[in-house]
Structures are given as C-alpha cells and as structure tokens.
C-alpha cells in the first residue's frame, strides 16, 4: 500500500464573505432537505493538470486568487459559510448564517503520485483521504451545530492541483452545489486573467445585483434564490419526515453509511469504468431484442442513464452475490435520486438554493438480476421507476427516510450518487478543465458514483470502491459483457 502520510499543510485559514452587508439569515429546512440530515457529507475531488507550478509560485500566484474568488462567491452563497443547527426535539433543524461565519480552507502539498491518483485503474481507497478536508468542529463545541462546507486545495509540485470538498448535503442538492462551484471557478478565472474588480467600502449597503464582477461572471449561473415559500408542501410531508428523522436519530444516533475509516477500507480499491455512447447503443439494442421475448410489445424507458444503471446493477449483484444458487425471491433494491425542479407541477427556479430532488427505489429479485435476462429486468425496473417519478415526483415521499434506511448497510442493494447531467468537467478555475473527478464519500456509503465522461463524448463514468478481489471480478464481468454484445 502507498504511504498515507504524505501531506504537508502549508496554510489553514478561514474565508468569509466580503465586509459588506450580508445580513444574518436563518433558512428553515423544507421536506426536500430533511432526508439529507441522515447522509454523510459529499466529498468530491477535482484533479487538474498543472505542470508548471512550484510550491512558491503556487502559494504566491494562485492561492491569493482562490481566496479572493471564494470570498466573493460566498457573498452570494453566504449560507455555506454558516452552519446547520439541530436544536432539541421537537424543534426543526435549520441553516443559520451570522456575520463573521466562514469556510475553512486548507492549502497543502502532496508527495503522492498525481498521475496514479487521477487515473481509472484500481488504486488503494485510503490513498485519497489526505486530500479530503474535514468539516471543522463547532466553535461552541456544540454537537448540535454542524459546519456546511470545507475546502482543501492540494498542490502536486510540477504535476497538478486537487481541489477537494466536504459538503453537508442538507444545504443543497447537486444542482445547488454545482451552481456554487461554477460561480467560484468563473470568478477565479476572471481574477487570474487580470480583470479589475470593483470593491466596496466596509459596511456600505448596496444592491448585490449591481456588483460588476458578479454580473459578469454569473451570466450563466445566476444569483441563488433563498425563497423557501416557493416549495409547497400540500401533502403535509414535512412533519412526517421530521418525525421519522427524530425517531431514527433517537434510536440509533447514526448517519447513513457512517463506517470506520481506516479499518473497513484497508483492503479496498477504487476504480473508474466508462460506459460509452457506442456501448449504450449496443446495450439498448440487446435489451430491446430480449424484452420482446420477455415482455412482448411493452415499451421500455431506456435513457442512457437507465441503461448504464441497469448494466452496473446486474454486474455488481453478480460480484456481491457469487453464490447464485442461494439467491431466491428476496428483494434487491436500486436507489437513485431524480431532479424535482423539472418534475414538479409548479415552478421552481434553477437558482433555488436548497434540495429539490426526489428519491427513486427500483426492485428486482437477486435470481432475476443474475440470470441471462438480468439487464432487461433491471432496465425495466429502473425505467418504470423513472416514469413514475416523471408522472408523480412525490409519490411515496412520506416513506423516503424509512425506505432509504433499508438500502444502506447491505450488499444486496445498490445506490448511486451524482449525475452525468451536471457538467462538472466544465469546472475551469483558470488553468483548464479537470483531468479526473472522484467522489470519496462512496468509500463510506457503499454507493456508486456517476458523472459525465471527459474522455468519451456522451459517455458516463462509473466510480466504485470494492475489495480488490471483487473489483477484479467486476472489471472482468463489465468488460466481457460489453465485448460479447
């Protein structure tokens, strides 16, 4: 195993919004946010090739721009500098921002092999954890107060840069975090290009929409909207989900997938697999041919996402349950999230700050999934769930927490995180697009990460963490299956 203690911390600092009027703000959680109270933070890593930077040049020429642009971005996304507050029952948790709140930023240098870490091949899972920032403890030492965001920027001298995050997902979904990331990257790129930025005197009140740097940099990613009243709870979901959360918190006092890092990961490896557009077309034709024999003229919903997920579900089930003779009719679930903004029957802007996603759960038996028609069964199950969510995005929402609790902690089930629709490989801070993106939280949650492919147009990258023997088995199944179709 590669050495794990190869990080040199150059600086730790706190980044606050600029000294202008950002009022103290309390944001109540909506029913869309409450289920995420149970989830561990998202931990994405963005690897960038940056071969001409020494440590001195990096700290003097790049770090100041990163700090300034982060501060300017937090001027608009100021709740991320605040905290999640969880008062005693029966009070409802909420997001809280107070003047002076900040985001922890760590600047570091790593002696690890950049090209190795930013590859697709199996790598020891623990090799990545020195690149992930820790969410800081509450200044008040209150266990009911949780920071929402921490950032670490790590230089690999003359090789590359890694920007890592720990993001408390109760603050917002992938769309919200994506808006923040792209706003920060856009402002940083402008600063690096030498554009002059107008600053404002301390405590001067002004209309944030008149800030020229913000207007210029956020033409595509507009100002976040914090209006909670636009989320309508006509079905009374909030009290039901809040009760489920309190019951689970009081009885088990844990977050979903909160495993012991360092013990459970010592023999685990991380790898990336790509399902290309050509692969998807072959899988689609094969699925349609077999489905006519199984389901007759029944139409299947076969998007690239559904096809990819169905293939991964069957491969993983075969690897995790090698004793196929023992598989019976016990349910195997496939869990995923679905964007709610385009599915709700009332308008919510893309700039809404918060969660607006639904949970989908498909089911098939293990015997069906490992059979010769497994991919067809999986594709129909996932496609049917997507179509149900398209028609009724809040269908079954009263059981979101109870249903998802069942998915974690068992190899019978597969859960995916991330989305290939966000375009995260477009995230350019001023030195080009990422070479590789990794989601580290799947080490703890046993999930599968999905993002768009930077190497294969229209492709989807699949990130996995498995014991080495199972990863070898998965790679063999994955590649042989695509080659045989």
- Report the CATH number at residue 366: 3.30.559.10
At residue 252, does pLDDT exceed 80?
A: no
pLDDT tens for 13-45 read: 999 998 776 889 999 999 999 999 989 999 999
Q: Kindly state whether residue 161 falls inside one of the protein's structural domains.
A: yes
For residues 264-291, average pLDDT: 94
Specify the range with the lowest mean pLDDT, choosing from 209-213, 231-235, 323-327, 339-343. Answer: 209-213
Examine the domain organization and report whether 240 and 315 are in the same domain.
Answer: no
Q: Identify the top-confidence range among 246-260, 297-311, 313-327.
A: 297-311
What pLDDT does residue 324 have? 72
What pLDDT does residue 101 have? 95
pLDDT tens for 170-206 read: 999 999 999 999 999 999 999 998 854 444 333 333 2
- Environment class of residue 233 by beta-carbon count within 10 Å: exposed (0-12), middle (13-18) or buried (19+)? middle
What pLDDT does residue 218 have? 43
Considering 207, 226, 252, which residue would you say is the last residue of a domain?
252
Residues in the chain: 485
Q: Kindly state whether residue 260 falls inside one of the protein's structural domains.
A: no
Confidence of residue 213 (pLDDT cuts 50, 70, 90): very low
What pLDDT does residue 197 have? 45
Q: Which residues contact 70 (CB under 8 A, 6 or more apart)?
A: 15, 103, 105, 151, 184, 188
Evaluated on CA atoms 374, 377, 381, 386, the torsion sign reads positive
For residues 464-480, average pLDDT: 96
Mean pLDDT of the chain: 89
- Shortest CA distance to 78 belongs to which of 131, 25, 116, 13? 25
For residues 220-231, average pLDDT: 84
Considering 193, 226, 252, which residue would you say is the last residue of a domain?
252
Examine the domain organization and report whether 361 and 227 are in the same domain.
Answer: no
Examine the domain organization and report whether 279 and 241 are in the same domain.
Answer: no
Examine the domain organization and report whether 245 and 274 are in the same domain.
Answer: no
Q: Kindly state whether residue 72 falls inside one of the protein's structural domains.
A: yes
Examine the domain organization and report whether 374 and 438 are in the same domain.
Answer: yes
Examine the domain organization and report whether 242 and 373 are in the same domain.
Answer: no
79 in Cβ contact with 469 (< 8 Å) = no
354 is in which domain, residue-wise?
Answer: 268-484
pLDDT tens for 440-465 read: 999 988 899 999 999 999 999 999 99
What pLDDT does residue 144 have? 83
Q: Kindly state whether residue 419 falls inside one of the protein's structural domains.
A: yes
Centroid of chain to Cα 42? 5
At residue 79, does pLDDT exceed 50?
A: yes
What pLDDT does residue 297 have? 79
**Domains: count for the chain:** 2
Q: Kindly state whether residue 335 falls inside one of the protein's structural domains.
A: yes
Examine the domain organization and report whether 158 and 301 are in the same domain.
Answer: no
Between CA 169 and CA 40 the distance in angstroms is 8
Examine the domain organization and report whether 207 and 308 are in the same domain.
Answer: no
pLDDT tens for 339-348 read: 999 999 999 9
Give me the residues paired with residue 163 across strands. Answer: 46, 153
Q: Kindly state whether residue 261 falls inside one of the protein's structural domains.
A: no
Examine the domain organization and report whether 132 and 241 are in the same domain.
Answer: yes
Examine the domain organization and report whether 285 and 229 are in the same domain.
Answer: no
For residues 93-112, average pLDDT: 96
At residue 334, does pLDDT exceed 50?
A: yes
Q: Kindly state whether residue 382 falls inside one of the protein's structural domains.
A: yes
Considering 226, 252, 278, which residue would you say is the last residue of a domain?
252
Q: Kindly state whether residue 95 falls inside one of the protein's structural domains.
A: yes
Examine the domain organization and report whether 162 and 101 are in the same domain.
Answer: yes
At residue 11, does pLDDT exceed 50?
A: yes
Examine the domain organization and report whether 193 and 275 are in the same domain.
Answer: no
Between CA 422 and CA 305 the distance in angstroms is 13
């Amino acid at each position: 195993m590669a050495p794990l203690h190869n990080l040199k911390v150059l600086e730790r600092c706190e980044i606050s919004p600029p000294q202008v009027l950002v009022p103290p703000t309390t944001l109540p959680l909506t029913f869309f946010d409450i289920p995420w109270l149970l989830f561990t933070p998202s931990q994405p890593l963005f690897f960038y090739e940056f071969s001409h930077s020494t440590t001195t040049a990096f700290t003097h020429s790049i770090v100041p721009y990163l700090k300034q642009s982060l501060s300017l971005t937090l001027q608009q996304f100021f709740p991320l500098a605040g905290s999640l507050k969880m008062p005693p029952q029966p009070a409802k948790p909420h997001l809280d921002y107070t003047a002076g709140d900040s985001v922890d930023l760590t600047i570091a240098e790593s002696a690890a092999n950049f090209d190795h870490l930013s590859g697709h091949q199996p790598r020891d899972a623990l090799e990545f954890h020195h690149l992930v920032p820790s969410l800081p403890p509450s200044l008040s030492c209150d266990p009911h107060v949780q920071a929402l965001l921490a950032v670490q920027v790590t230089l690999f001298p003359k090789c590359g840069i890694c920007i890592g995050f720990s993001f408390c997902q109760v603050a917002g979904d992938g769309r919200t975090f994506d808006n923040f990331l792209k706003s920060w990257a856009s402002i940083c790129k402008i600063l690096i290009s030498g554009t002059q930025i107008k600053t404002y005197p301390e405590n001067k009140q002004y209309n944030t929409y008149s800030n020229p740097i913000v207007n210029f940099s956020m033409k595509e990613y507009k100002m976040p909207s914090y209006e909670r009243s636009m989320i309508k709870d006509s079905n009374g979901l909030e009290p039901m989900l809040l009760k489920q959360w309190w019951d689970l918190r009081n009885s088990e006092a844990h977050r979903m997938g909160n495993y012991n890092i360092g013990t459970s990961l010592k023999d685990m490896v991380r790898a990336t697999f790509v399902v290309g557009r050509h692969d998807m077309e072959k899988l689609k034709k094969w699925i349609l041919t077999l489905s006519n024999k199984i389901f007759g003229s029944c139409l299947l919903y076969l998007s690239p996402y559904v096809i990819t997920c169905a293939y991964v579900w069957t491969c993983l089930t075969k690897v995790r349950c090698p004793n196929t003779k023992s598989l019976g009719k016990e349910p195997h679930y496939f869990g995923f999230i679905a964007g709610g903004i385009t599915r709700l029957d009332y308008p919510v802007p893309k700039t809404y700050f918060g969660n607006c996603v639904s949970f989908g759960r498909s089911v098939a038996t293990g015997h069906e999934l490992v059979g010769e028609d497994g991919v067809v069964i999986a594709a129909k199950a996932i496609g049917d769930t997507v179509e149900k969510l398209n028609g009724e995005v809040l269908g079954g929402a009263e059981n979101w927490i109870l249903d998802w609790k069942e998915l974690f902690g068992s190899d019978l089930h597969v859960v995916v995180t991330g989305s290939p629709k966000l375009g995260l490989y477009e995230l350019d801070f001023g030195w080009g697009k990422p070479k590789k993106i990794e989601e580290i939280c799947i080490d703890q949650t046993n999930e599968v990460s999905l993002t768009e492919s930077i190497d294969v147009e229209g492709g989807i990258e699949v990130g996995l963490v498995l014991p080495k023997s199972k990863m070898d088995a998965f790679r063999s199944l994955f590649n042989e299956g695509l080659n045989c179709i």
